[in-house]
Amino acid sequence: MSTVVVNAFSFLQKKLAAKGVGYSNVQVPFRPGMHLGDVVTFLELESGDVEGAFVNGIIRPFDALLNEGDRVALVPPGTPGPYRYLLGIRGGSQDGEEK
């Protein structure tokens, strides 16, 4: 079976653990046409639970298409301000634009 590997960070780990959902190297079944937002839904999270999402180390919007074997990292709101810029989240925008 084809998969996408997902890791969640910080507060998302507690939120997922409370639901009985994994948060480290989770194997999410891949299907053609799958978007980053589909991963968030699969993990039973709301889009507001995730401030930044990375695919293979690059910040991406929720409508980004995924490929088999991609590695996804989810970052919750509350990441300190300077790190938003360093990570490319920039004030909470997932598309790299200033909000």
CATH number for the domain including 15? 3.10.20.30
Number of domains in the chain: 1
> Do the domain assignments include residue 97?
no
Structural domain of 11: 3-87
Please calculate the CA angle 78-84-85 and round it to the nearest 5 degrees: 160
> Do the domain assignments include residue 99?
no
> Do the domain assignments include residue 68?
yes
> Do the domain assignments include residue 96?
no
Give the pLDDT score at 26: 94
- pLDDT band with cut points at 50, 70 and 90 for residue 98: very low
Residue 55 near residue 70, CB atoms below 8 Å? yes
- pLDDT band with cut points at 50, 70 and 90 for residue 4: very high
Please indicate, yes or no, whether the overall pTM of this predicted structure exceeds 0.85: no
Q: How long, in residues, is the chain? A: 99
> Do the domain assignments include residue 10?
yes
Provide the terminal-to-terminal Cα distance of the chain, rounded to the nearest Å.
39
pLDDT in tens, 54-95: 999 898 999 999 999 999 999 888 766 665 666 666 544 444
